[in-house]
Amino acid sequence: MKQKIDRTALMCASDLLERQDQSEARLRQKLTARKYSKEEIDDAIAKLKKYNYLNDERACAFQFDIMYKSERYSMQQILYKLITMGFERQLVESFKPEDFSDHDEIVAIKFLRSKFKTLPEDKKMLQFLSTKGFVYSTVERAIEKFKSSFQENE
């Protein structure tokens, strides 16, 4: 008969990090939810940081890179998602390129192409892109390019 092993916070944290990089805040949250003591959580996190298994800057950079290169999220969406993953706002914003408007424009046009198969009113497109976190100037440019691509195809 197998004996059940009492898992320490360090073992649990290691398993969580093995599956996916986590922010320190998210890892603390998950360990607290599993009813580990604050001291045990602090010790586990200190050991993981010591051996560089837990590194917010590396994990945030990795997640940012994936989302940015996928061209499936506006910059606002990327920032919001990373902050809700437990990364500090200042750290997240440090990865934001100075000129991200070209990226956002490409993403906005992709959203419009996937959402609208026929040319809708400008107002409808504006509302749709605004809910996705795009700034007004990007929305205007994307709508104009989307409309011109429709005219070219006719």
26-51 pLDDT, tens digit each: 999 999 999 999 999 999 999 999 99
Cα angle 73, 110, 81; round to 5: 5
Per-residue pLDDT, 150: 74
pTM comes to 0.84
The sign of the dihedral angle between the CA atoms of 113, 116, 121, 122 is negative
What tens digit of pLDDT does each residue of 105-129 get?
999 999 999 999 888 999 999 999 9
d(CA 137, CA 100): 12
* Residues above pLDDT 70, as percent of the chain: 95
